[in-house]
Structure 1
């Protein structure tokens, strides 16, 4: 089945098939599919039992007729286990050739577990196979059909001699066991099955090749270029070295991702892959994730301490004015004390209520109008900022939800940040509105000297 004009919806069935029944694997599934479609390789870093091999097997099932190869590597693994046994017939004719059918050189999708434990002879052969898609079989260099090699390891390599091989994996994705919030769902999850892959989830390699050619012509959008320039500064400031080759590979991956959604240029949201391309150490992934979320999703903290202090200052001023006793010549305070004395504990009397109201200080209309006006000025600031952040949230979330490759777990984080930010301002607006009503309801003395009170002050952070 050929899809003439792929859109963001084209990849949804493939992602759904990769993630089916798996918990918290949205990032790994997206990185794996995106890498495979772009002709790159993926390294999954994490402990055993985290569905790394299952993801690789599912990728193979998305490719009609694709051969799959899987091996667990150790320091005792010999080349014959990966590349095939020597051909005895070829040896009789003084040729050193391997029988590669059913082995790595004949596979479209391969999974190598504990990939860094292989010896140097195997790793050197893998280097050329991964990078050039070529295999030296005796005196011949033959092309291999490899679409994607998925490597797995408990940790990144510590030996400097392995860094060149480590660098061949463009995407390096940490995979951890499910967290406490998803543990109950893990225990109740159904066993994996091998049901047929839906036709709409199958990968059309001819279409993918055409898409790659179009992707190479896509420009970097201004927003994406700006984020990449800032990413280079972030890498330098945090002491992370990123080679020129990796930057170029990243751009090619971004171009393919943009082309997969029929976009005219690479956009800012395509850069969600930054943590998995630029972080050489899994410990750096959270920092790169924050970099992307702050730069593109605008999740960086936006303090409103000054406004919170202002709202609190008005509340305290209202409390002070409510508690201020009446003038000395007014005997309301004495009457209130008498009313309280004759009222039994736990009993509310009408006389006590009326007397309490009369025992409050009364303010001139000018005083009350001034306080209300001061409240209105602050309320206007609060409402303007609330509307500004609502507008920003709608714009950000609209873009995030429209991006086919953005992991849903990231979208939830973005939604939570903007919801909390807007909710916090909504609460402050309601809180200050109540204070405004309190000032407007202060007891009035029409005959009081019409003096406007000084503005309410608060400390700025």
Structure 2
């Protein structure tokens, strides 16, 4: 059952990537936002498929209530939250009719979000952060899962939009298509008429619950702590809340990639989450990328490459000295893999795959050493050696 859910996520991701050129990071980001119930911001020029990507995702999840609106400095609360009830006003009740508006939506796309004026801002902040909408003073729980915000530019300092900017955990800068082949394919409409996969709201909720159960290894917590220290050394101080929320992003990224355990390299997505101002982006990206490499995977590649080198070396030189050195190296590599496995139980399956390969190479090395010696040895030595290896 879980594998079927992973397969559906993969199909949706591939279909979106086929339809929206050079938007792989944003496609992953919007799926991660939806699974983790977080909010995502896309900043870039007009005509870069920001609204189209959001609307397509809403179509994919059948049963989603979707709300989309372009904000301007003249936008009114009625446009976003619904008009006042005339019947209510007659009775002295200040209540909005929220049908088909943001308070009743699961997925929301707000274009030019930083054009939101003060008349809208307070209710918008509460709705985004707490999923509550105050209607006639009474808090109403909203079904909101994710808000996808878009803007052509970053908010300027002093506009009073810092709190709104902070509500978006994931922030992606998006640009025009760069590759000419992709540009021509987009112009021709390649991939636009394909049958898109779909899922139900029930399946999405199940995936969100699975996301909550994705395991975060101790190693990931330790690396996040190191990242926090290095960011502070640079004068960059993401809030404790932002770090805490980032855990759900890591869990969702693992699930989008078909895993139920967070890997160290999943941390790379946090370069879109842990900066506060534009001038911090490069420093944050450098620090996170420096830590977001999968140490276990790199070690496995290194050990397997070394095992291959030992095997090819012994094929060239089968002298007793070379044979002894090769035997010792292979034994050491097998020992290193067993130690690696004992300290990384969450990666046991990956390590066992390499351990089987290295053990097989170890046997090949032993055979390449023993067979020539065995054929040239006297009969009595052959007999004693045969007895030894049978044991």
Q: Same fold (TM over 0.5)?
A: yes
- 1:112 is aligned to 110
For 1:48 and 1:168, locate their aligned partners in 2 and report how far apart those are by CA, in whole Å: 22
Contact 1:84 1:100 in 2 (8 A): yes
Q: 1:29 to 1:262 in 2, by over 3 A?
A: closer
Q: 1:230 to 1:25 in 2, by over 3 A?
A: same
> What SS does structure 1 have at the residue aligned with 2:154?
coil
For 1:184 and 1:5, locate their aligned partners in 2 and report how far apart those are by CA, in whole Å: 35
RMSD: 3.2
User: Is residue 290 of structure 2 the alignment partner of residue 294 of structure 1?
Assistant: yes
For 2:173 and 2:79, locate their aligned partners in 1 and report how far apart those are by CA, in whole Å: 27
CA offsets 1:357-389 (integer angstroms, 9 cap, x no match): xxxxxxxxxxxxxxxxxxxxxxxxxxx9xxx9x
Within a 5 Å distance, the mapping from 1:159-170 to structure 2 comes to 159-160=157-158, 161-170=160-169
The Cα shift of 1:262 comes to 6.9
The Cα shift of 1:230 comes to 2.8
Structure 1 unmatched ranges of 5 or more: 300-383, 389-401, 403-461
Contact 1:62 1:202 in 2 (8 A): no
CA offsets 1:250-307 (integer angstroms, 9 cap, x no match): 12322344456675643202212111111223454444444344333489xxxxxxxx
- 2:244 is aligned to 248
- Give the one of 56, 59, 62 matched to 1:61: 59
For 2:291 and 2:137, locate their aligned partners in 1 and report how far apart those are by CA, in whole Å: 52
Contact 1:108 1:145 in 2 (8 A): yes
Q: 1:286 to 1:15 in 2, by over 3 A?
A: farther
Count of residues in correspondence between the two structures: 300
For 2:14 and 2:272, locate their aligned partners in 1 and report how far apart those are by CA, in whole Å: 21
Q: 1:228 to 1:172 in 2, by over 3 A?
A: same
For 1:221 and 1:46, locate their aligned partners in 2 and report how far apart those are by CA, in whole Å: 36
- 1:157 is aligned to 155
For 1:200 and 1:138, locate their aligned partners in 2 and report how far apart those are by CA, in whole Å: 36
- Give the one of 220, 223, 226 matched to 2:217: 220
- 1:190 is aligned to 189
- 1:366 is aligned to none
For 1:201 and 1:92, locate their aligned partners in 2 and report how far apart those are by CA, in whole Å: 41
User: Is residue 272 of structure 2 the alignment partner of residue 273 of structure 1?
Assistant: no
Q: 1:185 to 1:153 in 2, by over 3 A?
A: same
Q: 1:165 to 1:278 in 2, by over 3 A?
A: same
Contact 2:211 2:248 in 1 (8 A): no
For 1:258 and 1:22, locate their aligned partners in 2 and report how far apart those are by CA, in whole Å: 22
Structure of higher CA gyration radius = 1
Contact 2:61 2:200 in 1 (8 A): no
For 1:99 and 1:227, locate their aligned partners in 2 and report how far apart those are by CA, in whole Å: 48
> What SS does structure 2 have at the residue aligned with 1:69?
strand
- 2:34 is aligned to 36
TM-score w.r.t. the length of structure 1 is 0.58
Q: 1:6 to 1:129 in 2, by over 3 A?
A: farther
For 2:64 and 2:12, locate their aligned partners in 1 and report how far apart those are by CA, in whole Å: 15
For 1:281 and 1:80, locate their aligned partners in 2 and report how far apart those are by CA, in whole Å: 32
The Cα shift of 1:188 comes to 3.7
Contact 1:17 1:197 in 2 (8 A): yes
Q: 1:16 to 1:298 in 2, by over 3 A?
A: closer
The Cα shift of 1:6 comes to 6.0
TM-score w.r.t. the length of structure 2 is 0.68
Q: 1:194 to 1:150 in 2, by over 3 A?
A: farther
Q: 1:84 to 1:145 in 2, by over 3 A?
A: same
- 1:174 is aligned to 173
- 1:87 is aligned to 85
For 2:115 and 2:46, locate their aligned partners in 1 and report how far apart those are by CA, in whole Å: 15
The Cα shift of 1:133 comes to 1.1
Q: Which has the higher helix share?
A: 2
- Give the one of 68, 71, 75 matched to 1:70: 68
